[in-house]
Amino acid sequence: MEFHVLIPARLASTRLPNKPLADLAGLPMVVRVAQQAQRSGAVQVRVATDAPAIVAACVAHGVDALLTRADHPSGSDRLAEACAALGLSDDAIVLNVQGDEPLIDPTLIRACAQALVDHPECAVATVAHGIEDATEFRNPNVVKVVCDAQSRALYFSRAPVPWWRDATDSACPYPGAVLRHVGLYAYRAGFLRRFPQLEPSPLERIESLEQLRVLWHGERIAVHITDSRPGLGVDTPEDLERVRQALASQ
């Protein structure tokens, strides 16, 4: 199996300015992410960014980087430009690995790519894991996914779905059957190039979830269900400190 990893990274961040360049045990965060991705067996790992400073940091540490336009509204749009610039064939598999996941498991990246290989009817693949905590289930910042019998996404929501008719406040219904979505994606390059031209859907606007555009336009998303949670991501200064502590303990 051959697949490519692209890592979108931008300097602008309301909660953590210059996040991709944050120091993690002597390396910029985006470099840590790329190094984890390189262990996945990808034929190519490249950072796609709007910032010359990020390109320079990557090059200094032996990571390939591509400078893209600064006006992209989303990481998917940035990766679509990168796909075109790299001349990837329509059937090439491209992994979108977020630039703020320095502890991402390389085997999870590979498993996501394999899910797309195993589902030729799907344009996209992603990852989920079981939720067993009632508070997490009800948290709108935790995105849930509902799947069909072939592990293909039926719907993504910030609401607690599927909703158990006889739910109580003390337990999560059917522990392990409720799935939390993980923001790791595999695309067929042809679809990724086409995605920014698709009209955003009403559901996408309501939920503020870009992946609902894929389903709205009739494409399918395969879901790899993992038994373990992904590593710590970084959204806030507190997250950054937790990751630093995790690296220090290794």
Return the SS3 of 23: strand
Cα–Cα distances in angstroms (integers) from residue 153 to residues 26, 81, 134, 197, in the given order: 39, 26, 22, 22
Question: What's the rounded mean pLDDT across residues 53-74?
Answer: 92
- Tens digit of each residue's pLDDT (9 = 90 or more) over 13-62: 767 888 999 999 999 999 999 999 999 999 999 999 999 999 999 999 99
Cβ-contact 125, 185 below 8 angstroms = yes
- Tens digit of each residue's pLDDT (9 = 90 or more) over 183-241: 999 999 999 999 989 999 999 999 999 999 999 999 999 999 998 777 778 888 898 89
Q: Which residue has the tokens 């679809």?
A: 191
Cα–Cα distances in angstroms (integers) from residue 192 to residues 88, 92, 93, 138, 211, in the given order: 11, 10, 10, 31, 12
- Please report which confidence band the pLDDT of residue 12 belongs to, taking 50, 70 and 90 as the band edges: confident
Residue 151 is classified by DSSP as: S
Cα–Cα distances in angstroms (integers) from residue 178 to residues 102, 125, 159, 163, 170, in the given order: 26, 18, 12, 9, 15
Identify the H or E element spanning 203: helix 202-207
Question: Residue 168 above 80 pLDDT?
Answer: no
* Dist. CA 100–CA 107, nearest whole Å: 17
